[in-house]
Amino acid sequence: MSKNISKLSGRKGLKDNLFKRMVDATSKSKNGKEIRQLAEEYHVGMSTIHGAESFYEFLRPEHKEKKAWICNGSACMCAGTQGKIRKKLSEKLGEDNIGMMFCLGHCYETNAFHYNGHNYAGNDIDQIDEIIKGKKINSKKNVFQKFCDKNYTYGR
């Protein structure tokens, strides 16, 4: 789950959080009854609930036990970097513990994955042992942007 969604869904004072309720409903729903009730209560279509469930793969009941998710957004997939990420995570966590998640918001870096409530990208996978141990890593995510009349620079 991205940091923004995590913070929004965990805000203090937020009652009847749709996102939290969606997680509960998708894990309980066998025939769609809970999802239908949730959609009616929040005045959204069932397709909205199913859309969020398919976008956020970790909402799917069969993926509750996954430990890490690999980004399969278009930038990461086009970069061809996710095979390396899957291999390294599988070696450390086991293939059955790896899921896929749509866009983690690190399109400018690729190599994106999610582990234990945090998103990682770039060369972070090279510090996977430290990440798994819960240590803070030195993540070099310095994005430099410069806007001038005719010059546009985007990169590190």
Mean pLDDT for the chain? 76
| Token code pair at residue 155 | 């990169």
> Any idea which of 29-38, 67-76, 124-133 has the lowest mean pLDDT?
29-38
Same domain, 71 and 140: yes
pLDDT tens digits, residue range 75-94? 888 888 889 999 999 999 99
| Token code pair at residue 93 | 């966590």
The answer, as to whether pTM is greater than 0.75, is no
Question: From CA 5, how far away is CA 109, in angstroms rounded?
Answer: 20
Same domain, 103 and 80: yes
Question: Which pLDDT value is given to residue 20?
Answer: 72
Structural domain includes residue 151: no
Same domain, 52 and 74: no
pLDDT tens digits, residue range 42-67? 888 888 877 777 666 666 666 677 88
Same domain, 130 and 73: yes
Question: Which pLDDT value is given to residue 156?
Answer: 39
Residue ending a domain, choose from 62, 80, 102:
62
Asked if 84 contacts 125 with a C-beta cutoff of 8 angstroms, the reply is yes
Residue 43, classed as helix, strand or coil, is: coil
Structural domain boundaries, residue 130 = 66-144
Structural domain includes residue 154: no
> Which residue type sits at 59?
L
DSSP 108-139: TT---EEETTEEE-TTGGGGHHHHHTT-----
The larger pLDDT score, comparing residue 46 to residue 2, is at: 46
Same domain, 26 and 94: no
In this structure, the strands spanning 68-71 and 113-115 are antiparallel
pLDDT at 40 over 90: no
Question: From CA 137, how far away is CA 140, in angstroms rounded?
Answer: 9
Residue 35, classed as helix, strand or coil, is: helix
Q: How many domains does the chain have?
A: 2
